[in-house]
Amino acid sequence: MDIATLVGLIAGSVILLAAIILGGSAGIFVNIPSVLIVIGGASATAFIRAGMSEVINSMKVAMNAFTIKLSNPQEIIQEIVNLANIARKNGLIVLEQQPINDPFLKKAIMYCVDGHEAEFIQEVLRKEVELTIERHEVGQSVFKGMGDAAPAFGMIGTLVGLVQMLASMDDPSSIGPAMAVALLTTLYGAVMANLIFIPMADKLALRSQEEERNRLLIIEGVLGILKGLNPRVMEEFLETFLAPKARKTGKR
């Protein structure tokens, strides 16, 4: 699990609930019609903007914000360096028998073992990276769109509540409670947008960047194996994909 995502959601929710409870009765902040307007409206705009299959797929992609499936880049580099050492000693064909953890790296190595040219391997793998990023961007756009729509529907709900309130002006005692209910929809829209939808889109964008970095690292490493680069030199080159403090070769 991605602890940061859970900590953020839980902390944000706890802070809001604490502020509500300390300020008075929590029951006055519960209004089902307001929830339906915000969540239903934001969801409806997502289907209109993206389409059925894209929205459903984006919900599956959203699970990447809670689970860590990506390989550690340091581990990928070490695995590539080990494969390079084996290839220099025993040839590329031996790599077919080596256990490889990362699926993308395994596919790239199989292309090498099958005898494909470096240009072909680079083109195919880069195209796969581009298409994967495109699919991720669709998922991000769905949540960004919901983040944009939620406050707008919050305002719409407030206007609906105001209309209903003004229609019952003959009863002054109902104006205060009706106004509070009307404003709740705006509150729900702001909370849903800024605590869930927009942060989720940003987290998916971060995951996409990390996956792109890992795959580009793999492409460069596999091309280096094909060229017969010295494993030590390759390791130094691949570590340029890492932050300076995460590199080993620079500390020697």
**Domain-embedded: residue 44:** yes
**Domain-embedded: residue 109:** no
Residue-number span of the structural domain to which 54 is assigned: 31-72+119-251
**Domain-embedded: residue 212:** yes
**Domain-embedded: residue 86:** no
Nearest CA to 129 out of 214, 70, 71, 243 is that of 214
Say which amino acid occupies 226. L
**Domain-embedded: residue 172:** yes
Number of domains in the chain: 1
Cα angle, residue 209 at apex, residues 208 and 212 outer, rounded to 5°? 85
Say which amino acid occupies 87. A
**Domain-embedded: residue 95:** no
As given in the structure block, the two tokens for residue 73 are 């880049």
Nearest CA to 242 out of 73, 70, 71 is that of 73
**Domain-embedded: residue 154:** yes
**Domain-embedded: residue 205:** yes
Nearest CA to 97 out of 89, 105, 106 is that of 106
pLDDT by residue, tens only, the chain of 252 residues: 577 888 888 899 899 888 888 877 777 788 888 888 999 999 999 999 888 888 888 887 777 666 666 778 898 999 999 999 999 888 888 988 889 988 899 999 999 998 889 999 999 999 999 998 888 888 889 999 999 999 999 999 888 888 877 877 777 776 776 777 778 899 999 999 999 999 989 988 888 898 899 999 999 999 999 988 888 899 999 998 888 887 775 554
Q: What is the pTM of this model?
A: 0.81
Residues 6+ apart with CB under 8 A from 198: 143, 144, 147
